[in-house]
Amino acid sequence: MRVAYYPGCSLEGTAIEYDESSQAMCEALGIELVEVPDWSCCGASSAHFVNHDLAVALGARNLALAQGTGAEQVTAPCAACYARLKFAEYKLAQEPERLGRMLGRGGVDYHGGMRVASLLETVVCDFGLEAVKERMVRSLGGLKVACYYGCLLVRPTEMPSFDDSENPRSLDNLMVALGAEPVEWPYRIECCGGGLALGRADIVRKLVGDILDEAVAAGAECFVVACPLCQGNLDWRQTEAAAERAREYNLPVYYFTQLVGWCCGAPPHKLGIEKLMTPATALLERQLASSQV
């Protein structure tokens, strides 16, 4: 399986371990990633705040470059990049003439045709859970995990989606395949505050505190996510939320790529688990005892 790979800006910086683990996981699974040459920012989280044409233009430049690789699908690990690229493809199909002219003036020759997928979708829907299971060398041994989808993975709802917008299951199904026990909890699609992380940290601390409280109440030992904004807010703001509420959480926030990679024999040093802010290696080492397939 060969897909165009759009890492996005966060994965070169604060979410470097999401890039490392995405590549290591795909190598272990046998998914060939071809990085989109000379890719640029997708525009999240600001372009659509200012102008929807600009949001289409920034997305379309990358779709054109992805098409140039010859792959039929472009996959993005980041939920925000995924949503923006999908938005560009969707809008272009709705208004091909006007937007096509706009792109032409902007120096972009693109008329649609790429399938935009999130990396979670590529693994669960295209590669398939049975194929993942075949490659497992260890399981998660009943790890109690809170699957946190956040917002952008399953929205906007007018566009075709790989999962349900109110009750998504793809992460849960993947975790079950890996031998974990996902907890049932009500905050799976609640917003973490996303792009408010820098400008309104007070709001993010409140939202993250609520999410953490619900995960703990449901018996979760950790989170699994598919978005660098979700990961950053839940992980980096965890100690601040704990201080505000005078309690302790200590819930590691794993990217799904780290857990799939860990189970499917990717070299552990390539998964970047030690780069997570809340200590996350001890919990996986504990699982090793009960993790034989």
Partner 1 sequence: MAQDTKATGAGEKTLLGQVLEISGVHVEHCYQCGKCTAGCPVAYEMEIPPQQMMRMVQLNLKERALRANTVWVCASCETCSARCPMEVKVADVMDALRRLAVEEGVPAPAEGRTMSVFHHEFLEGIKRWGRLNEHELIGMYKLKSGKLLDDVGLGIRLFGKQKIKPWHFAKIRRTEEMAQLFAAALSGESEGH
The span from the CA of 111 to the CA of 26, in Å, is: 29
58: nearest Cα among 3, 106, 10:
106
Nearer to partner 1, 131 or 196 (CB): 196
Per-residue HEC secondary structure of the chain comes to: CEEEECCCHHHHCCCHHHHHHHHHHHHHHCCEEEECCCCCCCCCCCHHHHCHHHHHHHHHHHHHHHHCCCCCEEEECCHHHHHHHHHHHHHHHHCHHHHHHHHHHCCCCCCCCCEEEEHHHHHHHHHHHHHHHHCCCECCCCCEEEECCCCHHHCCCCCCCCCCCCCCCHHHHHHHHCCCEECCCCCCCCCCCHHHHCCCHHHHHHHHHHHHHHHHHCCCCEEEECCHHHHHHHHHCHHHHHHHHCCCCCCCEEEHHHHHHHHCCCCHHHCCHHHCCCCCHHHHHHHHCCCEC
Instruction: Please give the residues from 110 up to 149 whose contact with partner 1 meets the rule CB under 8 A.
Output: none
**Distance in Å, CB of 8 to partner 1, minimum:** 9
Please work out the total of residues on this chain that contact partner 1, with binding judged by CB under 8 A: 61
- Asked if 166 interacts with partner 1 (CB under 8 A), we say yes
Nearer to partner 1, 39 or 223 (CB): 39
Nearer to partner 1, 232 or 261 (CB): 232
**Distance in Å, CB of 102 to partner 1, minimum:** 5
**Distance in Å, CB of 248 to partner 1, minimum:** 18
- Asked if 59 interacts with partner 1 (CB under 8 A), we say no
The span from the CA of 92 to the CA of 49, in Å, is: 18
Please choose, out of 33-41, 114-122, 169-177, 216-224, the segment that lies near partner 1 by the rule CB under 8 A. Answer: 33-41
- Asked if 279 interacts with partner 1 (CB under 8 A), we say no
Nearer to partner 1, 47 or 136 (CB): 47
**Distance in Å, CB of 34 to partner 1, minimum:** 18
Q: Are 208 and 192 in contact (CB under 8 A)?
A: yes
Chosen residue from 1, 34, 41, 125 binding partner 1 by CB under 8 A: 41
Nearer to partner 1, 29 or 147 (CB): 147
**Distance in Å, CB of 10 to partner 1, minimum:** 7
- Asked if 160 interacts with partner 1 (CB under 8 A), we say no
Chosen residue from 32, 93, 96, 101 binding partner 1 by CB under 8 A: 101
Nearer to partner 1, 180 or 225 (CB): 225
Which positions lie near partner 1, rule CB under 8 A?
A: 9-10, 12-16, 38-41, 43, 45-54, 56-58, 61, 95, 98, 101-108, 150-152, 155-158, 165-166, 189-191, 193-196, 198-201, 203, 207, 236, 275, 277
